[in-house]
Structure 1
Amino acid sequence: MLKLLNFPFLIAAISGIAMAIQGTINSCLSQKTSLISATFLVHIIGSLIALIAVIAWRDPLSKHNWGAVPWYLYLGGVLSVIIVGLVALSIPKIGVCNATTAIIIGQVSTAVLIDHFGCFGVSRMPWNPWQIVGIGFFAAGAKLLFR
């Protein structure tokens, strides 16, 4: 239980809360405008906020050796556009709860694989049978949430 109350866990939980709210807001925005326009605008606003943070924390972009970074680490921006678009598209069709549940199952299943294989340069953390059982229970619980 103590593991569930540590700071990184709380930060991750807050991130999950923000993601559910963000998906809902982005979905509503895309219904009032269009999916592509809403996705574009959300990323423009996010970029401006990130720029303000870079300036506020005085983190000069030029100090980093951007050319030494593996190319695939730049795909986060592409994935962000895909994620925002697909979440905004799915919520009106299946609801916030169903979409969020499906997202979390996809995230956890993929995270187990990324950890197990040490993808993208993260430390390898081999899966164990209990994680697979946990994903099975998670999927069964998710089925109960689907309406």
Structure 2
Amino acid sequence: MTKLLSFPFLIAAASGIAMAIQGSLNSLLQQKTHLLAATFVVHLIGLIVALLTVLVYRVPITQYPWASIPWYLYLGGVLSVLIIGLVAFSIPKIGVCNATTAIIIGQVAAALIIDHFGWLGIERLPWNPWQILGLILFAAGAKLLFD
């Protein structure tokens, strides 16, 4: 129970709220422009905000061994573009609630698999029967949210 209301949990929940708002805004932007143009502009604005934040906090960005870091650790940038585009595409077709529900089910299922096998260098945390049951019940509950 302590994990449920912990600060990291609340931060993650706030992230979820931000993601639902972000998806809605990106969807509206792509409806007024083009999916690829909207995705590009959203990331350009993100780049500017990230750059300003790095400058304000004086993060020593040039002191890191970027070239020696495994290439696949940079795929987060590629996935970010993919995620923004797919969310902006899906929301107008199935709605914010349905899209967000599908996103969360996909995230939880992928997270269970990544934890269980210790993929991507993540510490291995084997799943237990309660987690599998939780995912099944979560998916069943999600079905109730779909129109």
Q: Give the secondary structure class of the aligned counterpart of 1:26.
A: helix
* Other-structure match for 1:141: 141
* Other-structure match for 2:18: 18
Which sections of structure 2, spanning at least 5 residues, go unmatched?
Answer: none
* Other-structure match for 1:73: 73
TM-score normalised by L of structure 2: 0.98
Q: Offset of 1:122 from its aligned partner?
A: 1.2
Output aligned runs, 1:1-147, within 5 Å: 1-147=1-147
Percent identity (aligned)? 69
Q: Offset of 1:2 from its aligned partner?
A: 3.0
Q: AA paired with 1:101?
A: T
CA distance in 2, matches of 1:16, 1:37: 24
> How many residues were matched structurally?
147
Runs of at least 4 residues of structure 1 off by over 3 A?
Answer: none
CA distance in 2, matches of 1:51, 1:124: 34
Which sections of structure 1, spanning at least 5 residues, go unmatched?
Answer: none
Deviates more, 1:123-132 or 1:13-22: 123-132
Q: Offset of 1:60 from its aligned partner?
A: 1.7
Q: Give the secondary structure class of the aligned counterpart of 1:4.
A: coil
TM-score normalised by L of structure 1: 0.98
Q: AA paired with 1:38?
A: A
Q: Offset of 1:3 from its aligned partner?
A: 2.1
CA distance in 1, matches of 2:126, 2:57: 36
CA distance in 2, matches of 1:112, 1:3: 17
Give the root-mean-square deviation of aligned CA atoms.
0.7
CA distance in 2, matches of 1:123, 1:69: 18
